[in-house]
Amino acid sequence: DIRMTQSPSSLSASVGDRVTITCQASQDISNSLSWYQQKPGKAPKLLIYDASNSETGVPARFSGSGSGTDFTFTISSLQPEDFATYYCQHYDNLRSFVTFGGGTKVEIK
């Protein structure tokens, strides 16, 4: 099974900071990776798909990059509404399997 290791598990940052979260796959997954934002008490929201493509309506400060085993999610300038938990997700259509990373909680410093 492919394992997704997300880091850090939590971080503290200030409004305006640049925030970077990484997700590492245990084997090559090409670009089959997405990123979600989840706020307390709410369902996750898709932000990035296929490693680097932004979902419609997602602010430009959110971006993703990477391929193979190493992926990065970046918030270029953290806004008050961005404090949330972020998850990476690998999807394997060939094996009909989905797996999520452990999540990164972004808190206010």
* Helix, strand, coil abundance in the chain, percent, nearest 5: 5, 50, 45
Comparison of 14 and 93: residue with beta carbon closer to another protein = 93
> Cβ of residue 64: shortest distance to another protein, in angstroms?
12
3-state secondary structure 2-36: CCEEEECCEEEECCCCCEEEEEEECCCCCCCEEEE
Residue with Cβ nearer another protein (66 or 101): 101
User: Among positive and negative, which fits the CA dihedral 98, 62, 44, 40?
Assistant: positive
Compare residues 72 and 100 and give the one whose CB is closer to another protein. 100
Query: How far, in whole angstroms, is CA 108 from its chain's centroid?
Result: 18
Q: How far is the CB of 56 from another protein (least distance, A)?
A: 9
Residue numbers at the binding site for another protein (CB under 8 A):
1, 34, 36, 38, 43-46, 49, 55, 87, 89, 91-93, 95-103
CB of 97 to another protein, least distance (A): 6
